[in-house]
Structure 1
Amino acid sequence: MGTAIQRSTVADLPSLLPLLRGYSTFYRTPARDEDLLRMAEAFCGDSPDGLQLLARTEDGTLVGYATVLWSWDTTSGTRLAVMEDLFVTEAVRGEGVGRALLEACASTARERGCTALAWETAPDNDVAQRLYDATGAERSTWLGYRLALG
């Protein structure tokens, strides 16, 4: 399947929302549509926070997205890209869309001067782990924590 990868724009938000909702539902989180759209809009254009890359089929259908955040790696003192999200619609999983998005994230991070691309996934997300293991990336031994501040 031919997949085109491009940066998101404000015009993409209506077609991106169902994928954002799909990601949120997959991880059983109660994100509100308004919050998802506000977040996605923050990544449009030349955001200092990061960007969203979109995957479209040849007919223009949006079938996946990835969110990349810009950060620093204090263990090396170098720029770090963090792939916060990678989501592909169920209809095209296994057809190379996830790999194309991951490669586009890595390429964009390199262009920005990042020395690494980092990400995490749920321990039970076997489909994503198969993709990630196939890239040659090293599994981290770090544990993730999250403190709710609300």
Structure 2
Amino acid sequence: MVIAATREEDLDDLLPLLRAYCDFYDVAPPDAALRALSEALLDGADGVQLLARDDGGRAVGFATVYWTWQTLTASRVGVMNDLFVAPAARGSGAAEALIAECADRARDHGATHLTWQTALDNARAQALYDRVGAQRSRWLDYELALGGAPRG
């Protein structure tokens, strides 16, 4: 298993994984928007998208980590916003390798924590997170849709 930051030449291999991830969560952003998101992360300024390739070079999973700050720890944190492994590669160690690389990248970026969320009914992911030593948070997430263009 090889985990590396996504490069421009990886985007065609990454897009089907992004689409499968969105399908899993029953959302349908346009492919052009998914590609634009990935292109925006190529420079690493806002975060990094990691791509997992198996020993045959096939793209089998990805993770996205964004950089931010957290007042409650007065420190930088990495937010692992996405983690997905193709069904055929689950159980291969790809997910654990992606999480480990996310943690390393966050640490290298000066973060003191790596945080993430998962769906309440995603028992398989929760078992993985428990297995890698992550601690469940006591926070409940909220979301406010902000439709439209930015003001200004």
TM-score range, shorter chain: over 0.9
2:3 is aligned to 5
Distance in 1, Cα, partners of 2:9 & 2:97: 22
Deviation at 1:59, TM superposition (A): 1.4
Structure 1 stretches of 4+ with a deviation exceeding 3 A read none
Amino acid at match of 1:74: T
What stretches of structure 2 of length at least 5 have no aligned partner?
148-152
1:49 is aligned to 46
Distance in 2, Cα, partners of 1:4 & 1:48: 23
Amino acid at match of 2:60: V
- Residue number among 98, 113, 118 corresponding to 2:115 in the alignment: 118
1:68 is aligned to 65
1:21 is aligned to 19
- SS of residue matched to 1:115: strand
Amino acid at match of 1:60: G
- SS of residue matched to 1:52: strand
Aligned Cα root-mean-square deviation (Å): 0.7
Residue 81, structure 1, aligned to residue 81, structure 2: no
Deviation at 1:86, TM superposition (A): 0.3
What stretches of structure 1 of length at least 5 have no aligned partner?
none
TM-score of the two chains, using structure 1 as the length reference:
0.96
Deviation at 1:47, TM superposition (A): 2.5
Aligned length: 147
% identical aligned pairs: 50
